[in-house]
């Protein structure tokens, strides 16, 4: 297998598990998906087994904020300290994104600054929504000003929407549909409120082949052509915004989602992702091998597997 820079992988430090426990959050009950086992030793063994040259690690879902801004910030600091310590033990193999305690905007700005200036973070991680605050919310302006000033890498990770139709299968097993839908909802919010254009130096990374965005991007163009002249929405260059985004291909990229993504994305903005440890190692290895053989990636596989991410993170070839 070719070496990869993995832009979508997760860690579960003790501080994160403690935060979930303190808040009474049960991952399987909330997301419908079991919480995987994780250890530092197992993570490094996975990297060796699947030829992961470098990984950018983040905290996954659930997003542990339940209304107490002070507690959320204290928990975020512990999680970020743990991730920084892990990466400092393995500086040539691991980097991390600062976990932000949104919707606490003031605390998130402070923690983003601390992550960059004190902990050596390579980016920030934001949930698709934080207690109903989506990424186009104007309340996020102070955070975006700071991230734009730093040309930050901002990893979007799905979480459950603030409300789902009761009793539906999709609402019970959120990673199957609701994660993709909520990611798409949030990225539409970013694009159509003009946030992407207003803060052009933030390098947004959208997970899972852009979720549903590639399939509806041209519909967004059509809708904007109707609504902009009626002053119902800001004038936004939808496709330029889409092409400014980065996309990881974690999850089930083949046979449909990767094809759709490559029709709308800048190919230099397509990035490899494994979704470890929520995806089992044998599936990750099988997916890597299938991607290496995919004719859609002929001539660009090394760019997608490592070079694009290396340029994004400033790691070089």
Summary mean pLDDT of the chain:
95
- Asked if pLDDT for residue 8 goes beyond 90, the answer is yes
Backbone torsion region of residue 155, taken as left when φ is above 0, otherwise alpha when ψ lies between -120 and 50, otherwise beta: beta
- Asked if pLDDT for residue 17 goes beyond 90, the answer is yes
Q: Which residue has the higher pLDDT, 34 or 47?
A: 47
Q: Which residue has the higher pLDDT, 166 or 218?
A: 218
- Is residue 216 within 8 A of residue 261, CB to CB? The reply is no
Q: Which residue has the higher pLDDT, 44 or 173?
A: 44
| 141 Cβ neighbours under 8 A, 6+ residues apart | none
CA-to-CA separations, 131 to 63, 163, 221, in angstroms, rounded: 9, 10, 29
- Asked if pLDDT for residue 34 goes beyond 60, the answer is yes
pLDDT at 47: 98
pLDDT at 278: 96
Q: Which CATH architecture has domain 4-313?
A: Alpha-Beta Barrel (3.20)
Among the listed ranges 112-126, 224-238, 301-315, which one has the minimum average pLDDT value? 224-238
- Asked if pLDDT for residue 37 goes beyond 60, the answer is yes
Confidence band (pLDDT; 50, 70, 90) for 33?
Answer: confident
The whole-number average pLDDT for the span 252-281 is: 97
Confidence band (pLDDT; 50, 70, 90) for 162?
Answer: confident
The whole-number average pLDDT for the span 39-51 is: 98
DSSP string, 127-167: ESEETTEETT-GGGHHHHHHHHHTT-EEEEE----S---TT
* Residue closest to 220 by CA, chosen among 236, 205, 231: 236
Find residue 115's DSSP bridge partners.
none
Please count the CA atoms within 13 angstroms of the CA of 214 that sit on its side-chain side.
23
CA torsion, points 184, 186, 191, 193, in degrees to nearest 10?
140
% of the chain at pLDDT higher than 90: 87
pLDDT at 316: 65
The label of the residue with tokens 């003790």 reads: 14
- Asked if pLDDT for residue 317 goes beyond 70, the answer is no
């Amino acid at each position: 297998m070719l070496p990869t820079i993995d832009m979508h992988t997760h860690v579960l430090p003790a501080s994160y598990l403690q935060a979930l426990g303190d808040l009474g959050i049960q991952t399987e009950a909330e997301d419908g998906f079991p919480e995987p086992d994780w250890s530092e030793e197992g993570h490094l063994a996975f990297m060796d087994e699947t030829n992961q040259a470098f990984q950018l690690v983040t905290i996954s879902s659930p997003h542990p904020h339940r209304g107490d801004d002070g507690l959320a910030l204290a928990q975020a600091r512990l999680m970020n300290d743990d991730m920084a310590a892990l990466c400092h033990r393995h500086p040539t193999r691991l980097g991390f994104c600062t976990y932000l305690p949104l919707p606490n905007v003031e605390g998130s700005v402070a923690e983003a600054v601390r992550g960059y200036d004190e902990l050596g973070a390579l980016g920030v991680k934001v949930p698709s929504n934080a207690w109903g605050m989506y990424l186009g919310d104007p309340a996020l302006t102070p955070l975006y000003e700071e991230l734009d000033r730093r040309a930050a890498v901002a990893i979007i990770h799905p979480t459950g929407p603030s409300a789902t139709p009761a009793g539906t299968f999709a609402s019970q097993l959120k990673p199957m549909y609701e994660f993709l839908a909520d990611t798409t909802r949030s990225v539409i919010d970013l694009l159509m409120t003009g946030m992407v254009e207003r803060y052009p130096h933030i390098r947004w990374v959208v997970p899972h082949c852009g979720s549903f965005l590639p399939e509806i991007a041209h519909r967004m163009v059509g809708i904007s052509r109707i609504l902009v002249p009626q002053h119902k929405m800001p004038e936004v260059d939808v496709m330029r915004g889409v092409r400014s985004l980065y996309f990881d291909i974690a999850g089930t990229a083949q046979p449909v989602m990767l094809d759709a993504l490559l029709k709308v994305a800048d190919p230099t903005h397509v990035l490899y992702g494994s979704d470890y440890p929520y995806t089992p190692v044998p599936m990750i290895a099988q997916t890597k091998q299938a991607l290496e053989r995919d004719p859609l990636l002929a001539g660009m596989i090394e760019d997608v597997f490592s070079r694009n991410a290396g340029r994004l993170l400033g790691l070089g070839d």
